[in-house]
Structure 1
Amino acid sequence: MGDWQEGSWTWHLIWRRALYDWEIEDISNLKGHIEQKKPSRDLEDGVVWRHTGNLSYPVKSITATLCEQSTPTLPKAISYVVWQKFIPPRAQLYVWLANLEKLNTGDFLVEKGIIEAQRALCPLCNLQTESNSHVLFSCTISWRVWMNMLEWWGISGALQNQCRRFCLEWLGLVKNRKYRKLWGLIQGCVIWSLWYQRNKIKFENGDPNANNFIYSLKIRIGIWAKEMMGFPGWSSDDVTYNINSLLFLM
């Protein structure tokens, strides 16, 4: 690897095979890097964890550093929306991924070279390239679903098509804080259901009919509300068809 010559350390890198042309630049970069790191005859070898400067190996510190580097994080206000306990875990996961812009949408798969551009159309509308924001919010089908949810509650308004801003504004549409549990559950259910429907259409020849989807979505909201929030004496059908009445029970 190297030796001392006239009191100075010199690196000698020996390779077990001939280098390819495309590796020459990498070797040059490596040499430039290691030339800055040379051993000293006056110092003993030792290990120092550079994030703390300690000679000991701090397990807690390295765990925290690795998690910080590898785990995507969201602002606190968004995390509160995503991880509400009244949203089923399977929905929380996809709301989290949507807020991180990490869903495996068509544009993402094209960028990674996994599929060709012509296969990246939105399965819901089959008109535009699928992106995180498009499939969940600005697609004609998705937009119709969200508008129907607002109409169901007697609310009108314009909504954002970027997931983080959308999630914050969605909660703001309901002024009374005691209604937000159910309102947050509806948001999580719609996002999960849109992605589930997208996958059904794309991979299982699912039904693209928006009316049928909205009908089944309302049934699902009723079932989730019954499972996650209780409502003794109510069936899931009661919850679904009397959704506005639930405001007075919370």
Structure 2
Amino acid sequence: MNGSGASLGQGPSDPAITLKGYYVLQKRLEGVHLFPEGVDSLIWTPQKTGIFSIKSACLELAKASPHLMPDPIKGIWKGLIPPRIEMFAWLALLGKINTKDKLARMGIIREDENLCVLCESSPENYNHLLLHCPFSWKVWNSWLSIWNLKWTFPPTIREAFDQWKFINKGCFFKKVWAAIFFILIWTIWKERNARIFNNISCSPSQIFELALLRLRWWISGWTERFPYSFNDILHNPSCLMWVDSSSALTTPKPPKQIIHWEPPPEDHQKWNVDASVFNSPHRAAIGGVLRNSKGNFTCMFSSPIPPIEINYAEVLAIHRAIQISLRSQPTPNHPILIESDSHNAVKWSNDDNGGPWNLNFQLNFIRRAIKGGKVRIIHRGRGSNIVADLLAKQGHTRSDEFIAWI
């Protein structure tokens, strides 16, 4: 390597040089524009939404170098609670949260100031605060008493997490049981901070009600359509077992989730398209279904494609649906709506420029069709796309494309 840079395999001994080189590279990259005629934007391609998440980054790193990504604590990164609380739980189980005992050992506070703010009788280390403090134990016991459980917790919060199991085969309640562990330690931590920084305190019963409220908030982000409100949970917590038909505590199971598909306007036809990518073995496929304003199926396709990133595959699904409509006699005179659950693919298709450079041919084809006035592409959630999703998954087993007009 010319100049002052290090040769391959020999990094600079001074970390400041490495940091300086990073900022120089970053500054140079700020002036690079892949599409001079448009505005560049950052997207996270492993997610259909294009939004970065810690979970997806961990999964990508694990796929790239599985031997370098051992997870010392299994069962945290499930997406049942917000990412910041997953991160807090991870740090808590590793003993890395800034309790008073830790701050005293670091010399930030005096050693005589390390008493637990909840009980004011023992040093505030993470195992005491989150598990063994009499105040915290009352909060834990409020949950355990609902299920008539008597639990002897081990010395550490990590061991308690490893033992946090309940004999119940209901998939929904397993999620509830896993999530409540994190919610309880987060709620206890928030109470500790409220007392220290805001001089505000709550009773153990109030803290437990707040934990149940948080549980209900975050259940609403799961795929299940849980039919009960916070007040229902508060007055009858056994409703949390509504999916477990073998339990005496079970409440009647609500009707299955209704998939809402909206018909297109009169004389229009609507494609729902989707893509499916398998990482092991690495395969990709696309699929789509065409329906008229009465909801009748008129065409469907299922096709294997070369291995490709999921959002790129969604673009190919949109492109193929337009191709079929424009080249086939039954549909050319009908305006076409195309629904995709990929925000990125829809955005790239509707923008005048931009998108992945290696999909320029397909994107330009799509944009010409849109400008012709016969095609409109919109983003819709997966709930209305179930048939297209199934057709895309079937494409993995096909050797060539399947198209059928009905």
Aligned counterpart in structure 1 of residue 139 of structure 2, from 134, 145, 154 = 145
Q: How many residues align?
A: 184
Aligned counterpart in structure 1 of residue 96 of structure 2, from 99, 102, 115 = 102
AA partner of residue 243 (structure 2): L
Q: Which runs of 5+ in 2 are unaligned?
A: 1-5, 12-60, 245-406
2:339 maps to which residue?
A: none
Q: How does 1:178-193 map to 2 (within 5 A)?
A: 178=171, 179-193=173-187
Q: 1:236 Cα deviation (Å)?
A: 3.0
Q: What TM-score results when the alignment is normalised by the length of structure 2? A: 0.41
Correspondence 1:92 to 2:86? yes
- CA separation of 1:219/1:96 partners in 2, compared to 1, >3 Å: closer, same or farther? same
Q: How does 1:10-25 map to 2 (within 5 A)?
A: none
The whole-number CA distance in structure 2 between the counterparts of 1:188 and 1:209 is 19
The whole-number CA distance in structure 2 between the counterparts of 1:158 and 1:229 is 33
AA partner of residue 115 (structure 1): I
Q: How does 1:207-218 map to 2 (within 5 A)?
A: 207-218=201-212
- CA separation of 1:110/1:167 partners in 2, compared to 1, >3 Å: closer, same or farther? same
The whole-number CA distance in structure 2 between the counterparts of 1:248 and 1:209 is 29
Question: SS at 1:133's partner residue?
Answer: helix
Correspondence 1:49 to 2:43? no
Q: 1:74 Cα deviation (Å)?
A: 4.3
Q: 1:114 Cα deviation (Å)?
A: 0.5
The whole-number CA distance in structure 2 between the counterparts of 1:181 and 1:160 is 23
Correspondence 1:225 to 2:219? yes
The whole-number CA distance in structure 2 between the counterparts of 1:98 and 1:73 is 18
Q: What TM-score results when the alignment is normalised by the length of structure 1? A: 0.65
AA partner of residue 146 (structure 2): W
Q: Which runs of 5+ in 1 are unaligned?
A: 1-45, 52-63
1:131 maps to which residue?
A: 125
The whole-number CA distance in structure 2 between the counterparts of 1:157 and 1:224 is 26
Q: Contact 2:100–2:113 at 8 Å: present in 1 too?
A: yes
**Which structure's residues are more often strand, by fraction?**
2
The whole-number CA distance in structure 2 between the counterparts of 1:197 and 1:99 is 18
AA partner of residue 176 (structure 1): K
Q: 1:126 Cα deviation (Å)?
A: 1.1
**Structure 1 outlier segments of 4+, above 6 Å:** none
Q: Contact 2:228–2:239 at 8 Å: present in 1 too?
A: no
The whole-number CA distance in structure 1 between the counterparts of 2:234 and 2:219 is 9
2:149 maps to which residue?
A: 155
- CA separation of 1:196/1:228 partners in 2, compared to 1, >3 Å: closer, same or farther? farther
Q: Contact 1:193–1:217 at 8 Å: present in 2 too?
A: yes
**Which structure's residues are more often helix, by fraction?**
1
The whole-number CA distance in structure 1 between the counterparts of 2:71 and 2:7 is 34
Identity of aligned residues (%): 28
User: How much is the aligned-residue C-alpha RMSD, in angstroms?
Assistant: 2.8
Q: Contact 2:209–2:234 at 8 Å: present in 1 too?
A: no
